[in-house]
Structure 1
Amino acid sequence: MVVKGKEGSEEKQSVSPYHLVNIRLFILFRVLFNARFYYPVFTILFLDYGLTLEQFAVLNTVWAFTIVLSEVPSGALADLLGRRFLLVVTAWLMIFEMAVIAFVPAANPDLVFWAFLINRVLSGLAEAMASGADEALAYDTLVVHGLAGQWPRVLEVQMRAQNFGYIIAMTLGAVVYDPSVVNRVLQWCSVNVSVSQQMSMRYPLYLTLILAVFALFVTLRMRDPSPPAGHRTRDPQKATIWQLLRLVLRTGAWIIRTPMAFTIIFFAMTIDHTLRMGVTLTSKYYRLIGLPEASFGLLGSLVAVVGLFVPRLARIMVERLSFGLNVFLLGAGSVIALLFLSLFVPYWGILPVIAIFVGLMLTSYFTSHYLNELTDSQQRATVLSFKGLALNVAYGIIGLAFAALMQHYRVVQTGLHPSQAVDFIEDQAFVATVGCFPWYLAGALILTSLCCLPRVWRRRSTGRKQ
């Protein structure tokens, strides 16, 4: 299967896409928006502010539901009101979400909880609004200039730049969070100031807030590209709720009626949510394969370094191999990685973790390339938002399934080892649950293939143009 674009075959290959201001700003926005300095200390940041693990779980559930509820409407708004408008709003939301927890007094636990609740809602809205809008703006910019075929190269540079930002954020964020490190640096600089944990825990937030301000300046410089010839333009002042609903329904119907679009989203959903669940559990997994906690930040940076080379591999694959072969290689490789992950090999178990991160990056790259190539400009952001919705709903479902399996295996392991400590039972339940991952993904891929591929083959056999 090969996806053929609808944007025309003539490309102005002599013009570099990086000469276009929107493309440079798109890459810079992705770096600024995703380089969160608090990521390496995400969980303990909540706890050091005085929140409990239960509150942490509730707050992140709120974040996930906010994304799910606003994903598709925000994509439709981007198509109706303009992608730049949504990205400017996204940058403002990022500023507010960081400011509300960066400056909240930590002495009042109730106030801290409400501040973090507001942060999670604003963060979810920002994630949903950025999802699809920035990509649609960048891709349509290429289409207008006859450079749609350069999208794989733009994706390659964007993902590599984002990984550079991730490396810096992971390293610097963990360093400034540790008051002992900050104090040693201050002493070396002959600054007679002592920093406490209550002070240093805000430093990653301040740094991310600075990036949010820069992200706002970047979005203000963006411009919505002029629509291709023959495309109707919409007046943002006349956009109504009915237009929003009609665009959402029309786009959803188009995805269902278009076998290739449906197949791309379903395969992405199947692979992404399983691998993402594995990534979520890396801290616990590292402990069980004997890696010290001090190495976790370094391992995150190692994964980011490997990620610098993945976009080039992904571009070569989409340029030289068919869609079907790429999906087969990605699916088979993901199942094999999860099989090795489930073995919990001491120390060397880091290798399947790296393979899982590579699989996630390939999934993101393939989905962006094939779906943008297939989608019309007027509904591009909405289609990408449907994709984001599918991925997040599936991730939420597998999270619930993981919790249910853990509870089941706790009961089983308690019956098998009634005299063992609670920690031992918990570890054995975790090992047994992770052992289900490869078989789950293999079964899900088979079902997805049976559901999607016959429709694609029937459509191809009729000779109708996708």
Structure 2
Amino acid sequence: MTTPLYGFVFFNDFILLYPVYALLFTEHGLTVTEVATLFVIWSVTAILSEVPSGVVADVLSRRALVMAAPMLAGLGYTLWGLFPSFGGFAAGFVLWGLGGALRSGALEALVYDELNRRGAASSYVTVLGRSKAVAATAILAATAATAVLFPVTGYPVMTVASVAACLVAAGFAARFPSPPQTPQATSWRGYRDILADAVGRIRRQRSIRHAVVLVVVITAIWGSLEEYVPLLAAESTDVAWLVVPMVLAVSAGQAVGGLWAGRAATLSTSVAAGLLAVTAAVMASGALLGHPTGFVLIAAAFAVFQMLTVVADATLQSVVDGPSRATVTSLAGLGIDVAGIGVYLTYGVIVTAWDNATGFVGFAVVYLVVAVLWVRRRIIGWLRG
């Protein structure tokens, strides 16, 4: 089970186009507004397809959806190479966003159910954490490979390599076990019943509701701030070549955090909340230093954020039962996507008025508030029925 999983997540993120696709767009004549529009198309596609894909995963085959995900992304990259225009890029982003939604929810549900079937559900947090570390390592490796190859080969080789990685990822996904799922009617009523079951469980079962809220609030903030790490790095040094190592340090921190997740699985609520508060303060301190050495602190903070995210996700999987596991997970993913948009908009307002360091500090304060509410077990008090 673990070998196909780690192989899948590695090649799913070993995409040599990642570091240069924004350059690809601008070099083919797209304006900044058009590039921003592409990102909006990507986000909207992911949001609209997140929950429906979870329902399909519960009704049909989770393995089939996980296999299809990188194939759709690879088709999207192919369109970028064949039709390098706004229309081709937009179509590619739609396919990429749909592929990400197909994987979200289905992969976690498939892995947890298989481990549970083998009597090893308690190892889920360790397995998931290691998969996050493998994914972060793949991004680092792809970035390094692109830095070496791109100046020599250009976009065609980056595109072919990215499509090939997607196909290899799909091949690893084909090796996933396909444990039996509760049979569901494949009619409209069957899909509707699964969605109703997932929503009903979140509304009625406090433990699931708590876990969903924690997954959303912990993940959405740092997951969105990650996009601004390069801007903070550029703001924190006058030495241009240092920006890339500073950004890579944060990615390395995320990999370490995934490896730590298994050790954090038994943390009490008070300890986990206290750790979140301390980590928020560490991130704020690193941002305020305005110096490359501050990124050691930011990397450490992102390691802990990754670790707590894995633990929160494992907690959610452990309290969900019944036929709608992938749909519940996708609903949490939808919450992350929507909350992430709020983070992006708020961050933009803060940075417009001040700077990137202030943006990181502002969301560190939000984490401090979350930690206080969490330890007092009031983070979802307003949801109690």
* Conservation of the 8 A alpha-carbon contact between 2:132 and 2:258: yes
Any idea what SS the aligned residue of 1:221 has?
coil
2:249 pairs with 1:302: yes
* Conservation of the 8 A alpha-carbon contact between 2:70 and 2:167: yes
The percent identity for this pair of structures is 21
Structure 1: which 5+ residue stretches go unaligned? Answer: 1-21, 107-111, 183-194, 410-427, 460-466
2:125 alignment partner AA = P
Residue matched to 1:436:
362
2:33 pairs with 1:54: yes
1:395 alignment partner AA = G
Superposed, which structure 2 residues align to 1:116-135 within 5 Å? 116-135=89-108
Count of residues paired in the alignment: 384
Any idea what SS the aligned residue of 1:79 has?
helix
Larger Rg: 1
Residue matched to 1:371:
316
Residue matched to 2:215:
268
* Conservation of the 8 A alpha-carbon contact between 2:233 and 2:247: no
What's the CA shift for 1:334? 3.5
Any idea what SS the aligned residue of 2:20 has?
helix
Residue matched to 1:254:
201
> What's the C-alpha RMSD, in Å, of the aligned pairs?
2.5
* Conservation of the 8 A alpha-carbon contact between 2:236 and 2:290: yes
What's the CA shift for 1:429? 4.3
Residues of 1 paired with 2:349 and 2:11: CA distance? 37
* Conservation of the 8 A alpha-carbon contact between 2:62 and 2:107: yes
2:168 pairs with 1:219: no
What's the CA shift for 1:209? 0.6
In the superposition, the TM-score normalised over structure 1's length comes to 0.76
Residues of 2 paired with 1:99 and 1:288: CA distance? 35
What's the CA shift for 1:156? 3.6
* Conservation of the 8 A alpha-carbon contact between 2:235 and 2:290: no
1:88 alignment partner AA = M
Residues of 1 paired with 2:254 and 2:371: CA distance? 25
Which deviates more, 442-451 or 271-280?
Answer: 442-451
Residue matched to 2:183:
233
> What per-residue deviation string (whole Å, max 9, x for no partner) do you get for residues 304-355 of structure 1?
4444432332211114x22x13530342134213421441432222123213
2:327 pairs with 1:348: no
Superposed, which structure 2 residues align to 1:149-160 within 5 Å? 149-160=122-133
2:274 pairs with 1:329: yes
Q: 1:450 to 1:226 in 2, by over 3 A?
A: closer
Residues of 1 paired with 2:218 and 2:130: CA distance? 23
What's the CA shift for 1:444? 4.7
Q: 1:432 to 1:163 in 2, by over 3 A?
A: closer
2:103 alignment partner AA = A
Q: 1:455 to 1:394 in 2, by over 3 A?
A: closer
Residues of 1 paired with 2:287 and 2:246: CA distance? 19
Any idea what SS the aligned residue of 2:332 has?
helix
2:105 alignment partner AA = G
Residues of 2 paired with 1:329 and 1:160: CA distance? 24
Q: 1:402 to 1:221 in 2, by over 3 A?
A: same
Superposed, which structure 2 residues align to 1:373-392 within 5 Å? 373-392=318-337
Residue matched to 1:192:
none
2:364 alignment partner AA = P
Q: 1:432 to 1:88 in 2, by over 3 A?
A: closer
**Residue among 143, 147, 162 paired with 1:208:** 162
What's the CA shift for 1:222? 2.9
Residue matched to 2:234:
287
Residue matched to 1:403:
348
Residues of 1 paired with 2:123 and 2:356: CA distance? 44
2:298 alignment partner AA = V
Residue matched to 1:83:
62
Residues of 2 paired with 1:447 and 1:249: CA distance? 29
* Conservation of the 8 A alpha-carbon contact between 2:58 and 2:326: yes
Residues of 1 paired with 2:263 and 2:238: CA distance? 34
Residue matched to 1:45:
24
**Residue among 263, 280, 285 paired with 1:316:** 263
What's the CA shift for 1:119? 1.0
Residues of 2 paired with 1:345 and 1:169: CA distance? 28
* Conservation of the 8 A alpha-carbon contact between 1:262 and 1:452: no
What's the CA shift for 1:446? 4.6
Residues of 2 paired with 1:455 and 1:403: CA distance? 29
* Conservation of the 8 A alpha-carbon contact between 1:171 and 1:297: no
Residues of 2 paired with 1:140 and 1:450: CA distance? 29
2:186 alignment partner AA = A
Residue matched to 1:18:
none
* Conservation of the 8 A alpha-carbon contact between 1:68 and 1:392: yes
Residue matched to 1:143:
116
Residues of 2 paired with 1:344 and 1:56: CA distance? 32
In the superposition, the TM-score normalised over structure 2's length comes to 0.90
What's the CA shift for 1:23? 3.4
Residues of 1 paired with 2:36 and 2:77: CA distance? 19
* Conservation of the 8 A alpha-carbon contact between 2:274 and 2:371: no
Which deviates more, 28-37 or 348-357?
Answer: 348-357
